[in-house]
Amino acid sequence: MNKAEYKDVYVYAEQREGKIQSVALELLGKARVLADALGEKVVALFPGYKNKEAANELIAWGADKVIVMDAPELENYLTEQYSQAMSQAIDKYKPSIVLLGATTIGRDLGPRLASRLATGLTADCTSLDISEQRELLMTRPAFGGNLMATIMCTDHRPQMSTVRPGVMQKGVKDTNRKGEIEVLDIKFDSSKFKVKLVEKVKENKGKVDITEAKILVSGGRGVGNKEGFAKLQALADVIGAQVSSSRAMVDAGVMPHEVQVGQTGKTVRPALYLACGISGAIQHLAGMEESDFIIAINKDKFAPIFGVADVGIVGDAHKIVPLLTEKLSKLVTKK
C-alpha cells in the first residue's frame, strides 16, 4: 500500500433521527487539532436520509468538507447498510485517519468497517496525537483501566479509532466558517440486508442521561442490592440528582448498564459526584475523576476512591445516606 495516497482526518458524523450526536462534534474538535498538526483537512462522513442541511452544522463545528450520503436505506442505523455506505466512501476518498464515536453505533460500525478494509482499529481512545513520523498515536486504557497503552497502526490505512462520548472537547462553533459539501451516491447490495428494524423503543424518556446530570449519587458493591439503591434514589430525589452505579452492581444485575460509570460505562463530569460504597477500581475512576467535586463514603479507609475524592468519609453508606436524606429534606422543605 502506498501510504502517501491516504490523507486527511475523517470523522463519522453520527446522527440519530436527524440529530447530530454530540460525540461527532467532539470528534470534529479533536480532528481539527490533528489535521492542523498534519497540515491536512477535516472531513465529515455524513450518512443519513433527508438530512443534508445539517451538513452546514458540521462545517460550523470544524469540518472543511462534508461528504453527504443520502438514501432511504440510511434512515435508521443498520450495520450492513451503513457499512456499505461508509466503505464505499473510504475506498473512494482514501482517508489517512477515520474517527468514530464509541457509541453503540460506532462500536458496531467501526469493527465491521475495519474488518472490511483489513485495517486496524483502536477502541475507546482517551487521547490522540500525531507522532514525529506523522503517525497517529492512539492511547487507551487496558486491563480494566489499570493500564494505559499507546497504539499505532503504521502499515495500514486508514488508521481508525473510536472515542467515547465526553472524552474530547468540542471546538468553537462558527456559523461563518466556509466548507465544501459533496454528495456521494451509494450503490447498495440489498441481497446482504439480513437484519430488519422492527421497533425502536426509548425507555428512559423524561429521565436525564447520567452524562448530563449536575449531581450524581453513585453506588457500588457496598450498597449491595436494590434496597440499597432505593436509599440512594431517595437521596437523589431530594436534591434533584441522578443515580448511577459502578460496574460491579451492573454485572450483578442490580442496576442497568445505562447508568454505569467507568471505562466500560459512561464518562461523567458532574458538579458533584457522591460515591457510596464504591471502592474505586481504576476502571471506575477513569469514568468519574474529572468530576468537579467528589465526595466518597466507604467503610474501607484504604479504598482507592479516597485517592481521588475531595472529601472522604470512612463509614457505612447504609447509615449515612438515609441520615443525609432526612437532613436535606428538612432543609429543602424549609425553603
Residues 250-309 binding other proteins (CB under 8 A) are 250-253, 256-258, 263-264, 271-272, 274, 281-283, 285-286, 289, 292-295, 297, 299-302, 306-309
Nearer to other proteins, 51 or 279 (CB): 279
* 137 near other proteins (CB under 8 A): yes
Cβ density class 23-53: b for 16+ within 10 Å, e for less: bbbbbbbbbbbbbeebebbbbbbbbbeebee
DSSP 256: -
Supply angle C-alpha 126, 130, 132, rounded to 5: 140
Measured CA distances, 305 to 2, 140, 245, 246 (Å): 48, 21, 14, 12
Which residue's CB is nearer to other proteins, number 4 or number 198? 198
Q: Is 150 in the site for other proteins (CB under 8 A)?
A: yes
What x/- string results for residues 159 through 198 when contact with other proteins is judged by CB under 8 A? Answer: ---------------------------------x-xxxxx
User: Smaller CB distance to other proteins: residue 179 or 220?
Assistant: 220
CA-derived radius of gyration, the chain = 22
SS3 sequence of 45-70? EEEECCCHHHHHHHHHCCCCEEEEEE
69 within 8 A of 87, measured Cβ to Cβ: no
Closest contact distance (angstroms) between CB of 3 and other proteins is: 13
Residue among 230 and 323 whose Cβ is closer to other proteins: 323
Nearer to other proteins, 172 or 323 (CB): 323
Strand partners, 2: none
Binding characters for other proteins, 9-48, by CB under 8 A (x = yes): ----------------------------------------
- 152 or 184: whose CB is closer to other proteins? 152
Distance CA 24, CA 12 (A): 7
Which grid cell sits at 227? Answer: 434496597
Enumerate residues 216-245 that contact other proteins by CB under 8 A: 224-225, 239
With respect to other proteins, which residue has the nearer C-beta, 146 or 169?
146
Sequence-separated (6 or more) residues with CB below 8 Å from residue 158: 6, 10, 90, 94, 95, 96, 97, 98, 117, 119
Judged by beta carbon, residue 195 or residue 230, the one nearer other proteins is 195
Verify binding: residue 142, other proteins, rule CB under 8 A.
yes
> Cα 231 to the chain's mean position, in Å?
29
Decide: is 80 part of the binding site for other proteins (CB under 8 A). yes
| Closer Cβ to other proteins, 9 or 250, answer by number | 250
Q: Which stretch binds other proteins (CB under 8 A): 32-40, 53-61, 75-83, 177-185?
A: 75-83
User: What stretch of H or E contains 124?
Assistant: strand 121-125
Rule CB under 8 A: say whether 146 interacts with other proteins: yes
**Is 143 an interacting residue with respect to other proteins (CB under 8 A)?**
yes
Specify burial of residue 143 (Cβ count, 10 A radius: 0-12, 13-18, 19+): exposed
Is residue 115 involved in binding other proteins (CB under 8 A)? yes
Q: Cβ of residue 176: shortest distance to other proteins, in angstroms?
A: 32
CB atoms within 10 A of CB 290: 16
Cell readout for 177 is: 466558517
Contact pick of 151, 166, 177, 181 for other proteins (by CB under 8 A): 151
